[in-house]
Structure 1
Amino acid sequence: MEHTTLQPVLAIAGSDSSGGAGIQADLKTMLANGVFGMSAITALTAQNTTGVRSIQDTQPEILADQIDAVFDDIPPVAVKIGMVSSVNLITVIADRLTAHHATNVVLDPVMVATSGAKLISDDAVDALTQRLFPLATVITPNIPEASALTGLQIEDADGMERAALKLAEQFGCASLVKGGHNTNDANDVLAEADGTITWFDGQRVDNPNTHGTGCTLSSAIASHLALGETLPGAIRSAKAYLTGALNAQLDLGHGSGPMDHAWRWR
């Protein structure tokens, strides 16, 4: 009997009980993009398409054990990191990823809600930038997050490019500033640590259901890095997948609903 090998990818993020974002979106995305998804859960949330009701962070020792258990048995080729809101958990992730020499780390710095509300404390932001950013292959902030991280007012494409370059220079990792918060386009810009700039044109999809877009994009990038694509190639593949998921026009829930992660099979 022939054996099949899939590239394993680890998602480190919070759980979304409604299935559209977080770990659930990560694992669906990884399956759809041809890799084997694994998880280390940073928090339990009670949420749906209308909002988050409650959050309970994972104990640091349990998070460390989850990461160690995965690396000790099925070492991931790539790692996606999503929302982590406590300094203790950020420290655990940084320590364990360093100990295991993790590669192809994609970090989605979930800091600012779509509403503009701040999601993590200043202490946690400091830990994120000092401990996790230097381990990342690429970070994927949206415009409000890039603005918060750089202190720059981002109003156009030039502002996005300046912010991406500043982040790449400051933290030594590539930075993909996502233009989804612009009303006129969905173009993203990548600044690599050597100063190389790449723009990715995106199709703006008229769909109010965008729950989990950031989680989905970062997981898809990690998946395609695991498949051996270059960083710009992985971003192109991930954007094409996300566009398809939005174009499927899934409509669930009473708020901003999830996308169809399995659109390719409909």
Structure 2
Amino acid sequence: MVQGRVLVIAGSDSSGGAGLEADQKVIAAHSCYAMTATTALTAQNTQGVKGIHVIPTDFVSQQIDACVEDVGVDVVKTGMLASTETIEMVAKTMVKHSIPSLVVDPVMVSTSGATLLPNEAIQHLCKHLLPHTTVLTPNIPEAILILSQNGQEAPEVRSVQDLETVAQRIQALGPKWVLVKGGHRPMKEDLTVAETAEERSIVVDVLVGGHGEVVRVKSPYQASSSTHGTGCSLASAIASNLAKGLDTPTAVRSACRYIEAAIRTAPGLGKGHGPLNHFHSTYTLPFAPGYFIEWLLERPDVRDVWKEFVYHPFVMAMGDGTLPLESFKGYIIQDYLYLIHFSRANALAAYKAQNIEDISRVSCTAYTRYVLDVGQNGDWLGLQMALAPCLLGYGAAAKMLHGHEKTVREGNTYWAWIKNYNEEDYTDAVKLGSALIEKHIQLQSPSRIEELVQIFIHALKMEIGFWEMFPAQQT
């Protein structure tokens, strides 16, 4: 089922790994409808570009009009625009057709460091196109070039804070959101730039908005040569997510996860920088492998219920120390009763487990008798999903309170509870429980995944009811 219409205005890649060819694969993988307006034909492969034939601007304009006036367009994504004239035409077209969203991959600097657009074209892109841009996706060299063309000196990128500064300065030039891709500067765990290959641990992409929003998307660093078309594919994934109605931060985060998995599962084609695996989740998973729980908690039908649980007044009252002691005592008593049912549920989970590894990793926390009903009538994974709100939720609530500015530590009766759920043994249990779910969820059908999500939502609402058994404030 087509969920959105995306028009790509970009150059081709005869080898299929980047440009329009990659864009169409990405858009199809996101269940959206792809249209193209070709700005240039290229003869290239994984080892380099052999030749470029620029398409006349008038003909590019005709392609755009043909798509907009018939099929319609929800989001425009631009890649290689090739000339100053085409850049100006695209800017005018956005106004002419009232296109609601524009994702711009600036395509100014190649992986080898070569400049792909003349300075005049870069200046025109900044002046005419950025004010219409919903999301701009420069890599670090492109971000620095954009700032220099606008008379600004970019800070040397030595940390994630420097990335944020660069993104904020570019955002002030007109685009609603700027995503500076951090792949050129892999970082250490402390979010400073790695000095050696051994120190490369994570890649941080930074998204900033016009109202002070800053979102960091962290991904494991991958020493892979299969990175051809990464920028094109990321921008098209963002465009597809926007076309499906996702808000910008969610669209960007999901796109980053998609690209991470596409690199990780790349087919290894070509003699140079090979293409990605654009179809790693098609037809089977609505999320990137390893990110089911993140996808689950960001679903519209889960997000608000999850937030209600984690930020429940009972939880917040423990954080600032105002929770009536009688309420906490009542909670602890009920917690004990739930532990009895939980032990039965874990015994049932062990009975239903398929191997000794799964049995040894069953985690322990409090939960309602509902899980026994799920366990008796369903399978092992259904039981794990019924247990998951408590395992994940307690960890999330305690982590939130541990870093919350209003949490009182000195003299707070409940600080020990907060610390307990931040201890290594519990956080390890959360990691192990999450890993088990991530491992088994990849084998499920889309319809079964939806059933499991509904089990999670129902159990999550029961957890909220647990908090609400006792008053959060003195009455």
Per the shorter chain, which TM-score range? Answer: over 0.9
1:256 aligns with 2:253: no
Q: 1:66: which partner in 2? A: 63
1:236 aligns with 2:253: yes
Cα distance in 2 for partners of 1:130, 1:218 equals 21
**Are the counterparts in 1 of residues 17 and 274 from structure 2 also a CA contact under 8 Å?**
yes
- Cα displacement (A) at 1:43: 0.4
Q: Which 5+ residue runs of structure 1 have no aligned equivalent?
A: none
* 3-state DSSP of counterpart to 2:90: helix
* 3-state DSSP of counterpart to 2:69: helix
**Alignment match of 1:31 (pick from 13, 28, 33):** 28
**Alignment match of 1:180 (pick from 180, 183, 203):** 183
- Cα displacement (A) at 1:264: 2.0
| Higher percent of residues as strand | 1
Normalising by structure 2, report the TM-score.
0.54
1:92-124 Cα deviation digits (max 9, x unpaired)? 111112100112211011111111111110100
**Are the counterparts in 2 of residues 250 and 260 from structure 1 also a CA contact under 8 Å?**
yes
RMSD: 1.3
**Are the counterparts in 1 of residues 206 and 214 from structure 2 also a CA contact under 8 Å?**
yes
Higher relative contact order (CA 8 A, sep 6+): 1
What is the 5 A alignment of 1:135-146? 135-146=132-143
Q: 2:110: which partner in 1? A: 113
**Are the counterparts in 2 of residues 147 and 154 from structure 1 also a CA contact under 8 Å?**
no
Cα distance in 2 for partners of 1:81, 1:240 equals 21
What is the 5 A alignment of 1:178-217? 178-183=181-186, 184=200, 185-217=202-234
1:9 aligns with 2:6: yes
Cα distance in 2 for partners of 1:192, 1:201 equals 18
**Alignment match of 2:163 (pick from 160, 164, 169):** 160
Cα distance in 1 for partners of 2:165, 2:276 equals 31
**Are the counterparts in 2 of residues 85 and 121 from structure 1 also a CA contact under 8 Å?**
no
1:218-257 Cα deviation digits (max 9, x unpaired)? 0000000011101000011111111111111311111101
| Higher percent of residues as helix | 2
Letter in 2 for 1:117: A
Cα distance in 1 for partners of 2:104, 2:269 equals 28
1:127 aligns with 2:124: yes
Normalising by structure 1, report the TM-score.
0.95
Q: 1:51: which partner in 2? A: 48
Q: How many pairs does the alignment contain?
A: 263
- Percent identity over the alignment is 41
1:78 aligns with 2:82: no
Letter in 2 for 1:69: A
Cα distance in 1 for partners of 2:102, 2:209 equals 14
**Are the counterparts in 1 of residues 42 and 53 from structure 2 also a CA contact under 8 Å?**
yes
Q: Please identify runs of 4+ aligned residues in structure 1 that moved more than 4 A.
A: none
Please identify the structure whose Cα radius of gyration is greater: 2
Letter in 2 for 1:100: H
Q: Which 5+ residue runs of structure 2 have no aligned equivalent?
A: 148-152, 187-199, 285-475
Cα distance in 2 for partners of 1:94, 1:258 equals 30
Letter in 2 for 1:15: S
**Are the counterparts in 1 of residues 131 and 173 from structure 2 also a CA contact under 8 Å?**
no
Deviates further, 244-253 or 29-38: 244-253
1:8-63 Cα deviation digits (max 9, x unpaired)? 11111100000000000100000001111111111000000100011111111100
- Cα displacement (A) at 1:131: 0.9
Q: In structure 2, do the counterparts of structure 1 residues 255 and 167 end up closer, same or farther at CA, with 3 Å as the change threshold?
A: same
**Are the counterparts in 1 of residues 3 and 244 from structure 2 also a CA contact under 8 Å?**
no
**Are the counterparts in 2 of residues 91 and 131 from structure 1 also a CA contact under 8 Å?**
yes
Cα distance in 2 for partners of 1:99, 1:20 equals 32
**Are the counterparts in 2 of residues 198 and 232 from structure 1 also a CA contact under 8 Å?**
yes
